[in-house]
Amino acid sequence: MNRSDSIRDRSSPRHRFAPAVGPPAVARNESMNCFVSGWHFGVSARRVWIAVLLALASAAVLELGQSATLPEGFAEESIPGPWTEPVGITFEPEQQTPGGRAYVWERGGRVWIVEGGIKQSPPLIDISEEVGAWRDLGLLGFAFHPDFRQNGYIYLGYTVDHHHLTKFGTAAYDPATNEYFMATIHRVTRYTARASDDFRSVDPTSRKVLLGESVTNGFPSLYQSHGISSLVFGTDGTLLVGCGDGGSYLTLDVGNAPETYVVQALAEGIIQPKENVGSFRAQLVDSLSGKILRLDPETGDGVASNPFFDPAYPRSARSRVWSLGLRNPFRTALRPGTGSHRREDANPGALYIGDVGLHGFEDLNVATNGGMNFGWPMYEGLEMHPIFGIVDVSNQDAPNPLFGLNHCPQQYFSFRNLLVQDNRNPPSWPNPCNPALQIPGGLRRFVHARPVIDWKHENGPARTGVYAADGSAAVTSIGTPDSPVSGAQFGGTSSIGGTWYQGDDFPVTYKNTYFHGDYEGQWIRNFTFDTNNRPVVVRDFLTNGGGIVCLATHPVEGSLYYVTWTNGIHRVRYGITSNQAPSVVARADKLFGPSPLTIQFDGSTSTDPEGFPLIYRWDFGDGSAAVTEAKSSHTFVEPAGVATPFTVTLTVTDRSDATALATLLVSVNNTPPVVTITSPTNGTRYPLLKETVYPLSAAISDAEHGPSQLICRWQTTLHHNHHAHTDPFDTNCASSVSIAPLGCDGQTYYYSLALTVTDAAGLATTQEVILYPDCPDLSPVLTFLERDTTGAIRWELTGDPGYSYRIEGSANLLDWNPVTTLRPTTGTTQFKDLDGGIFRNRFYRAILAP
């Protein structure tokens, strides 16, 4: 499928939004065999800092050379951009010499070549018009064919903008329009780079869609995250592609979650009705969600040696599946030296998978065979999820042969009937209608493939799986006397993935070991695995590294590269005997004003890693002679009334001629734009009952420039605890933004909306407003009190008396029935749920009533 028009830059996109609503999360009440849920309204969300930032360029500091914390002997350096939301870095598979090219891909749809440490222009490829880059979605996967220098093939995995998906090639298509906050698909596409220019550009007519040719056959994208992830080639030449479950991260999604776009997805054929099971799509073999796929890189078909391959339907989801039971397998890495070169051996190699967890644990999984089931959502980490693990959600591909016989009410087996915990003893899958009978072997039954390591959120513990004396699954914390894994304890909140190191430039301890990163933990750790892919040692390596989203190693030089969200590419080296470049800091007491404009420049706080003196050179960009002092005063003279920009460059050089430079923009006869955001207002509290669309507007003026000479750029950022999710830039001065109903659950959520206005002479003003969740002062708490002799149960609801709460009950987390609506005017209210003297609900929730 070739569409050359899809490679086009998209300027000033117009965003369209599809609002959604969302219910609360669910938590367990240990007092009886039932569960309670509710918005955990916490004051933490109301204590988030409140500020309006007006960034006038009246003074400036530019500093380069900040670095993370590393073991002794290691140092890092940044690869200069500029970068716009980079999410990955890789190298050509056949690269045989030091240096060479690196390739950086950005979420928005561009892939850049880095050569000699310098970002090259134009990009290798730009498909930004086709890519839907919003929230956690976009161009997230990129790979080279193993024979890239022979065939020029590159592969891209990305979210398709819904407008492009449904309108491209029609009269209704507008290249400047994109549609966010609605269901769409993820796609895998192949292009061919041109040998004629040494593979520096692609032939747009070579475009071939391997997966996701149409709205009905791509990876389903039903919410704002858990989308397509890594593209990795196996040793056997097959293409391994990861994708998340497509479900909600806001609630326990078992289908029909109202905050998701499931209704639209069903209407458009993005999913089939049997896939309307939320996170359980990860367990449905005939669904692309929550899987690692193994594809023929020529056709996109499933490989004949895949575990569920159907020769009659090689492009079906089941034919393409290699591994299942994953929530958000963000990055994967193939262990070098593993796997077969023959596809028919069904052994592409050991695939190391970082799977991002929900509320409890993060996973590091290893897929060594086809058909391995990593357990999500019934299992999070090594053990069963306390709620997903007991919910009966039907698998419509698994009919129960006992249905209708001897009063058997279960037409289909539930997903939890088909998955059992790891055990050294023979597994058993009893039929729920007759435990004396096994579920037929012709159905797809699974044993949980436990992660090799898991770690609890925040401070740990980190654990590994062992077996009890009776052969049942057990866990132990790493570093304990009975643990097979040594190392210090750790925690984290977002298992990203990693890379294998085979170089010789690090100490020998690190050779043939694995590095893994955690996004919110901002760390990289080093793991030693034995030949059976079992962990042996965990070592601390890098801390305070920022939001890590990708790791890679150079195929020849070694070194470790990592990418941080939203603008950092870093290289870690060891024992650098050659001289390191200085760290440069350029300061100015002002950057704009009328002519003649005299400015005091200061570079004296620049430093050299070896502690040696530096040589300074100031170039003022106006044709005057350079100055070689650390501090300098310079006067810019221009005709009155003519706004003129100058780029001032400070270059610092050490005694070995290593250099670093920084630039400052000076604007003579100019003042920054004046910006006041008028909508939404600072401190707005967004509702939690539904997604809300706010107009984006501002009062903008500039003393020297008219409206046509001003450039606007809105940036929406969702802040969650210690990390942030940014939306694409919106370059319309008046626009709108969709705010999801996140917050008030004991975690910190808020949105920042920043508008930057830049004039024609380079001066910019940024104003920012903050939006918070509209949280009651008291968290609603449902407490079980007693069940009386009539079968009625009595609860106590504690909450904010200024709000009404709707109490609902459910037997399966899917169908909710109203019990009562309460306003705890005295702070505490009691109620009963009685159905003919029978306790019929297993789950309860308290949510804000409209």
Owner of token pair 């939890």: 416
pLDDT band at 834 (very low <50, low <70, confident <90, very high): low
The answer to whether the beta carbons of residues 750 and 47 sit under 8 Å apart is no
Stretch 737-749: mean pLDDT: 86
Q: Which fold has domain 777-848?
A: Immunoglobulin-like (2.60.40)
- Residue partners of 172: CB distance under 8 A and separation at least 6: none
Mean pLDDT taken over the chain: 89
Please indicate whether residue 294 or residue 577 has the higher confidence score (pLDDT): 294
**Position 16 pLDDT exceeds 60:** no
Stretch 140-169: mean pLDDT: 98
Q: For residue range 426-442, what is the model confidence (pLDDT) as tens digits? A: 999 999 999 999 999 99
Instruction: Kindly list the domain boundaries of the chain, sorted by start residue.
Output: 46-56+672-773, 581-667, 777-848
Stretch 757-778: mean pLDDT: 93
Q: For residue range 649-684, what is the model confidence (pLDDT) as tens digits? A: 999 999 989 899 999 999 999 999 999 999 999 999
The answer to whether the beta carbons of residues 562 and 570 sit under 8 Å apart is yes
Stretch 472-499: mean pLDDT: 97
pLDDT band at 99 (very low <50, low <70, confident <90, very high): confident
Please indicate whether residue 614 or residue 22 has the higher confidence score (pLDDT): 614
Stretch 621-640: mean pLDDT: 97
Q: How far is the CA of 166 from the CAs of 94, 109, 160, 293, in angstroms?
A: 38, 19, 10, 25
Query: CA 386 to CA 389: how far, in whole Å?
Result: 6
User: Which pLDDT score, from 0 to 100, does residue 216 have?
Assistant: 98
Stretch 99-110: mean pLDDT: 93
- Single-letter code of the amino acid located at 624: S
pLDDT band at 241 (very low <50, low <70, confident <90, very high): very high
CATH topology match: 581-667 vs 777-848? yes
Taking Cα atoms as reference points, which of 453, 457, 448 lies closest to residue 465? 453
Instruction: Give the three-class secondary structure for 564.
Output: strand
pLDDT band at 827 (very low <50, low <70, confident <90, very high): low
Helix, strand, coil shares, percent, the chain, to 5: 5, 45, 50
Stretch 315-338: mean pLDDT: 98
CA of residue 235 relative to chain centroid, distance: 27
Tokens standing for residue 805: 């709460």
pLDDT band at 102 (very low <50, low <70, confident <90, very high): very high
**Position 826 pLDDT exceeds 80:** no
The answer as to CATH 1.10.3720.10 being correct for domain 46-56+672-773 is no
User: Which pLDDT score, from 0 to 100, does residue 8 have?
Assistant: 33
Lowest mean pLDDT among 485-494, 510-519, 799-808: 799-808
User: Which pLDDT score, from 0 to 100, does residue 778 have?
Assistant: 72
Tokens standing for residue 684: 């707005």
**Position 57 pLDDT exceeds 50:** no
Instruction: Give the three-class secondary structure for 607.
Output: strand
User: Which pLDDT score, from 0 to 100, does residue 795 have?
Assistant: 75
Query: CA 838 to CA 43: how far, in whole Å?
Result: 38
Lowest mean pLDDT among 62-76, 346-360, 480-494: 62-76
pLDDT band at 38 (very low <50, low <70, confident <90, very high): very low
The answer to whether the beta carbons of residues 81 and 114 sit under 8 Å apart is no
| Secondary element (H or E) of residue 320 | helix 317-320
User: Which pLDDT score, from 0 to 100, does residue 73 have?
Assistant: 92
Owner of token pair 């977002």: 494
**Position 823 pLDDT exceeds 60:** yes
Lowest mean pLDDT among 78-82, 134-138, 189-193, 426-430: 78-82
Name the CA radius of gyration of the chain, rounded: 29
The answer to whether the beta carbons of residues 735 and 691 sit under 8 Å apart is no
Q: For residue range 164-195, what is the model confidence (pLDDT) as tens digits? A: 999 999 999 999 999 999 999 999 999 999 99
**Position 47 pLDDT exceeds 80:** no
Query: CA 6 to CA 485: how far, in whole Å?
Result: 49
Please indicate whether residue 738 or residue 297 has the higher confidence score (pLDDT): 297
Taking Cα atoms as reference points, which of 449, 536, 146, 499 lies closest to residue 334? 499
| Secondary element (H or E) of residue 92 | none
**Position 400 pLDDT exceeds 80:** yes
Please indicate whether residue 19 or residue 532 has the higher confidence score (pLDDT): 532
**Position 402 pLDDT exceeds 70:** yes
User: Which pLDDT score, from 0 to 100, does residue 54 have?
Assistant: 29
H helix intervals, 162-316: 162-167, 262-268
Please give the share of the chain, as a percent, with pLDDT higher than 70: 89
User: Which pLDDT score, from 0 to 100, does residue 32 have?
Assistant: 31
Stretch 295-301: mean pLDDT: 99
What letter would DSSP give residue 120?
-
What's the whole-model pTM score? 0.85
Please indicate whether residue 66 or residue 531 has the higher confidence score (pLDDT): 531
Lowest mean pLDDT among 82-91, 570-579, 616-625: 570-579
User: Which pLDDT score, from 0 to 100, does residue 784 have?
Assistant: 73
User: Which pLDDT score, from 0 to 100, does residue 67 have?
Assistant: 64
User: Which pLDDT score, from 0 to 100, does residue 27 have?
Assistant: 33
**Position 760 pLDDT exceeds 70:** yes
Q: Which fold has domain 581-667?
A: Immunoglobulin-like (2.60.40)
- Residue partners of 657: CB distance under 8 A and separation at least 6: none
Across 171-180, 271-280, 602-611, the highest mean pLDDT is recorded for 271-280
Taking Cα atoms as reference points, which of 458, 460, 489, 525 lies closest to residue 723? 458
**Position 556 pLDDT exceeds 90:** no
